[in-house]
Structure 1
Amino acid sequence: MAGPPQSASENTSQHAAPAARAVGLSKAYGSGDTAVLALDAVDVAIDAGRFTAIMGPSGSGKSTLMHCLAGLDQATSGEVWIGDTELTRLGDRQLTRLRRDRVGFVFQAFNLLPTLTAQENITLPGDIAGRRPDAAWLAQVIETLGLGDRLGHRPHELSGGQQQRVAVARALVGRPALIFADEPTGNLDSRSGAEVLGFLRRSVDELQQTVVMVTHDPNAASYADLVLFLADGRIVDRLERPTADSVLERMRRLDPRPATTGAE
């Protein structure tokens, strides 16, 4: 996969209030002697208007961290905030509403409905919630993602990269405070993966979104402004302005097994 284009901005939002943060976040699965501690008193702040990648060896807790920050999984202890809202104090209905209104998700699986067109898939979450999309914002998202000539196509008529771009547009169209992407290039070839990562980068630079991406691909991480490295449920390192080589070197320190350098 080719490296990312140079960021179009210097991201002055570093000094703004965090888009999300965790304080003393711990997550255990099971109980007693069989309990597994996936996150161990993690403190982290996700800068608004930036692209943050989360990396670590298998079992390090990176996906658990993303799921807790997104309100998809409940912390065992500690606090999680999106903006000025503390997730750990919300009930199930309040959490569902917050995720619907303020969070967008892009997963490894495209999760498109096969009977709907690209445009219908993009606007589906708003349709379900009874909200009409902002026409100007929808047009800007579609233009940024280069989907203007694909809106009438159904998923089987689109390439893998195009399907993932539809999924990215679906995540963006509600203009959420945060976009969480879990291995978004995992089902794509190198070219399509680079294309989708480039569009996530543009969503930060041109649409002022905040993106948090879990990946184990150093090339994918090089599109981010910041990489956070996890090991044994703790954040153990961070890397600003990453390159694929610098990410690979940091990963080798954490995990002696060979790292993946192509699209996943």
Structure 2
Amino acid sequence: MRSNVPAPRGTTAAPAASVEHLSKIYGTGDAQVVALNDITVEIMPGQLTAVMGPSGSGKSTLMHCIAGLDRPTSGRALIGQTDVATLKDRDLTRLRRERIGFVFQQFNLVPTLTARENILLPLAIAGRKPDPDWYDEVLRAVDLADRLTHKPSQLSGGQQQRVACARALVGRPDIIFADEPTGNLDSVSAVEILQFLRRAVDDLGRTVVMVTHDPYSASYADRALFLADGRIVDDVSHPTHEIVMTTMAHLDPRRIDRASIPQSPSDLDPTPVSV
């Protein structure tokens, strides 16, 4: 089992994010839970990295520690060269606003605001104006120009998640964290979001870290990190659906229901969807 994972071979750029000997422990005594156990890993820029593992493996905790949503018990969590674990609350809030984008399973849109207002909300809170050219590019990427005046209740689940993706991108963050971004979506909408995240990396030059339990979603990634019992146990470049299925089944065969997982992309999306 490997808890210390360097950057993939052939990469020379500085990491977009990294953790060094990171541990996270909840509770004490008999109630103590070691969520992360001495992890060292680098997330390289310009890539979509999937973080996978059985329930309770520590994958969401790892994302939360890197993103500054939770503080580690020991070790370092860095965005670029900034150790987020050492920042005071005000500086941490500023870093999350200016350098990090978030996409969550529950969309987290404000129901009384329009799609446009939801997209621009983080910039409005920070007192910043959007870069017009970048804003237009983001809108083209999410393909929601005809829905900008609609409120969340007037949008489908896939459209709401695309609004959330645009909101994460509009501030041009260094890195985007997506926590189970397709978990509440039907299969067609899920493919739309996965294609968008792929385009955010390939066409818009972003870095994306996606926590997921779904082998098909992970097949969109450049790299898949597999966690078990709070440690990184495998690191796969260019993961395929089949490789991810095999690796996950090896980690915890009880939690893999093969009948419920598409066996090929065509099972999930017979017609390619553009975003």
Instruction: Bin the TM-score by the shorter chain.
Output: over 0.9
Report the CA distance between 1:129 and its aligned residue.
1.2
Show the counterpart of 1:66. 63
RMSD: 1.4
1:159-186 deviations in Å (ceiling 9; x for gaps): 1101100000000000000100000001
Residue 147 (structure 2) pairs with residue 150 (structure 1): yes
Q: Distance in 1 between matches of 2:149 and 2:50?
A: 33
Q: Which runs of 5+ in 2 are unaligned?
A: 1-8, 263-267, 269-275
Show the counterpart of 2:237. 240
Q: Distance in 2 between matches of 1:186 and 1:89?
A: 32
Q: Percent identity?
A: 63
Please say if residues 13 and 49 of structure 1, whose CA atoms lie closer than 8 Å, have aligned partners that are also in contact. Answer: no
Report the CA distance between 1:239 and its aligned residue.
1.0
The 5-angstrom pairing of residues 186-225 of structure 1 reads 186-225=183-222
TM-score, L = length of structure 2: 0.89
Show the counterpart of 1:261. 261
Q: Distance in 2 between matches of 1:213 and 1:190?
A: 17
Report the CA distance between 1:33 and its aligned residue.
2.9
Show the counterpart of 2:5. none
TM-score, L = length of structure 1: 0.93
Q: Give the 4+ runs in structure 1 shifted more than 3 A.
A: none
Equivalent position amino acid for 1:162 in 2:
Q
Q: What is the SS of the residue equivalent to 2:146?
A: coil
Show the counterpart of 1:40. 37
Counterpart among 47, 50, 53 of residue 47 in structure 2: 50
Equivalent position amino acid for 1:90 in 2:
L
Report the CA distance between 1:89 and its aligned residue.
1.7
Report the CA distance between 1:13 and its aligned residue.
9.3
Q: Distance in 1 between matches of 2:30 and 2:76?
A: 25
Count of residue pairs the alignment pairs up: 252
Equivalent position amino acid for 1:204 in 2:
V
Q: Distance in 2 between matches of 1:16 and 1:145?
A: 28
Please say if residues 218 and 247 of structure 1, whose CA atoms lie closer than 8 Å, have aligned partners that are also in contact. Answer: yes
Q: What is the SS of the residue equivalent to 1:153?
A: coil
Show the counterpart of 1:111. 108
Q: What is the SS of the residue equivalent to 2:227?
A: strand
Report the CA distance between 1:36 and its aligned residue.
0.6
Please say if residues 18 and 48 of structure 1, whose CA atoms lie closer than 8 Å, have aligned partners that are also in contact. Answer: yes
Please say if residues 13 and 50 of structure 1, whose CA atoms lie closer than 8 Å, have aligned partners that are also in contact. Answer: no
Q: Distance in 2 between matches of 1:130 and 1:79?
A: 30
